């Protein structure tokens, strides 16, 4: 997919995702979650993290909240999932911004008009790898924390919902 089409899709997706009550890739967006900028979170994940492809089998908090009735979530489960979202979504954006800053540094360090500082370049690239790995792990753990809140029956409904998409 060319960059222009991808950018257009991301912009359209962001507009849909940040509109309170709008539909997200994860389900309906609860109005009180819109301030967490889900479109921004998804854009960061798609540009910096490797995990989005696996989320079809391991959805995040917004999917659970968007399907709370179908899953039969209790008030307690909903509040726990909201707390997970309130933690992981801003963290994802912060992690993505830090990773992007380091990537911009790599571009500056690799500028052919300047002397190569290979040791620093290696250090920054290694730091990017570590930060991306940590961000992926944090995100997977948050998604698993949502899954762990479900009863066996709710898990069956969840996987039935996921297989029908």
The C-alpha atoms of residue 131 and residue 102 are separated, in whole angstroms, by 10
Please, what is the angle between helix 3-18 and helix 38-48, to 10°?
Answer: 150
The C-alpha atoms of residue 103 and residue 101 are separated, in whole angstroms, by 5
Distance of CA 82 to the CA centre of its chain: 15
Collect all residues with Cβ–Cβ distance below 8 Å to 165 and sequence separation of at least 6.
Answer: 56
pLDDT of residue 21: 38
Convert the pLDDT of each residue in 65-97 to its tens digit: 999 999 999 999 999 999 999 999 899 889 989
- Output the 3-class SS for 148-164: HCCCHHHHHHHHHHHHC
Is the pLDDT score of 48 beyond 80?
no
What percent of the chain has pLDDT above 70? 65
The C-alpha atoms of residue 76 and residue 92 are separated, in whole angstroms, by 24
pTM for the whole structure: 0.67
Q: Which tokens is 37 given?
A: 């900028």
Please give the residue that has the higher pLDDT: either 24 or 67.
67
How long, in residues, is the chain? 165
Burial of 19 (0-12, 13-18, 19+ CB in 10 A): middle
The C-alpha atoms of residue 113 and residue 95 are separated, in whole angstroms, by 30
Q: What is the mean pLDDT of residues 94-114?
A: 94
pLDDT of residue 55: 61
């Amino acid at each position: 997919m060319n960059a222009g089409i991808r950018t257009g899709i991301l912009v359209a997706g962001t507009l849909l995702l940040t509109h309170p009550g709008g539909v997200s890739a994860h389900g309906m967006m609860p109005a009180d979650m819109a301030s967490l900028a889900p479109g921004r979170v998804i854009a960061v994940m798609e540009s910096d993290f490797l995990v989005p492809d696996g989320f079809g089998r391991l959805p995040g908090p917004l999917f659970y909240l968007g399907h709370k009735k179908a899953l039969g979530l209790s008030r307690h489960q909903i509040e726990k999932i909201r707390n997970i979202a309130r933690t992981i979504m801003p963290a994802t954006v912060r992690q993505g911004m830090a990773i992007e800053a380091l990537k911009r540094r790599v571009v500056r360090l690799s500028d052919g008009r300047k002397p190569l500082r290979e040791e620093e370049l290696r250090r920054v690239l290694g730091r990017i790898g570590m930060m991306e790995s940590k961000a992926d792990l944090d995100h997977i753990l948050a998604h698993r924390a949502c899954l762990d809140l479900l009863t066996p029956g709710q898990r069956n409904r969840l996987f039935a919902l996921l297989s029908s998409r």
